[in-house]
A and B are shown apart, each in its own frame.
Chain A
Amino acid sequence: MVTLRNIIHSAVAMMVCFGSLAGMYALLGAPIVAAAQVLIYLGAISVLILFAIMLTQAGDANLPSPFHRQVWAAAVAALVVVGLIGWAVTATDWGNATVVVAIVLNTMAAAIFTDYALPFEILSLLLLVAIIGAIYLARRPEDDERANS
């Protein structure tokens, strides 16, 4: 998906990838994470990215080459990282990690609001900051002048 020339196709491939990940979360016994994945990624972030593409795409008359000059260096770096992580994963003895333990929603919810209450609150603050920052960044300067006149 990252090699497609048309960025709309990349975005649609990304949505497929997010959907498959939601399926994997469901397989891993975490249906709440799967639901959040569908809501946040498939519902919110994908639509956001598609809107951004729609707003910025000048038309696909002459699509330029999608890659930098350093594409080979990037490929080598990515392959090295995948190789290292893959080697570490396959070389490690994971013991008897064969049975999926489904999460228990009650204990997980209790943990969010007791052990992880501080990160949870900080997260709400972060989202507020992100909303204000996005509005400030995306607003057109001429809108203010129009409002003042």
Chain B
Amino acid sequence: MGLQGYLVVSAILFGIGMFGFLARRNAILMLISIELMLNAVNLSLVAFNAYDYYSPNDSGAIFALLVMAVAAAEATVGLALVIAIIRTRQTPEVDEYSDLKE
């Protein structure tokens, strides 16, 4: 299988993350799903790098490391936001955050 196998796994992982992000009501689980999608992209980047597609200087692995750092920053700020919201609204369910609608 080689490269194709890794890319298919990456696509499936991205799909799972997308489904979780769209379908779940819990804000923390939506953040977990975002991490899953970022990981899927990372996997495809590293796979392309390993099979030497358009990647001089191991740029695929470098991009993967950059994505990881950005994901860490995103998780930090996202979780701080979620905790701040839950502290005021007393619930992690996103469909009860309807202040702007009412």
Q: Which residues of A contact B (CB under 8 A)?
A: 1-2, 7, 10-11, 14, 17-18, 21, 24-25, 28-30, 32-33, 36-37, 40-41, 44-45, 48-49, 52-53, 55-56, 58, 64-68, 70-71, 73-75, 77-79, 81-82, 85-86, 89-90, 94, 97-104, 107-108, 110-112, 115-116, 119-120, 123, 126-127, 129-131, 133-135, 137-138, 140
Contact = CB atoms under 8 A, between A and B. Distances in A.
B22 A52 contact: no
26 contacts: A2-B29, A10-B29, A24-B6, A25-B64, A28-B6, A36-B65, A56-B86, A64-B93, A65-B25, A66-B24, A77-B19, A78-B18, A81-B11, A81-B14, A89-B8, A94-B3, A94-B4, A97-B52, A98-B2, A108-B57, A116-B62, A123-B70, A126-B70, A130-B76, A130-B77, A138-B83
Contacts of A112: 62, 65
Interface size class of B (residues with CB under 8 A): 35 or more
Interface string B57-68: 111011011101
B17 A2 contact: yes
Contacts of B57: 107-108, 110-111, 115
A42 to B, nearest CB: 12
Nearest to B33: A2
Given A14-B32, A36-B68, A71 B26 contact: no
Interface of B: 2-4, 6-9, 11-20, 22-26, 28-29, 31-33, 35-36, 39, 42-43, 46-47, 49-53, 57-59, 61-62, 64-66, 68-77, 79-84, 86-87, 90, 92-93, 95
B62 A108 contact: yes
A21 to B, nearest CB: 6
A68 B49 contact: no
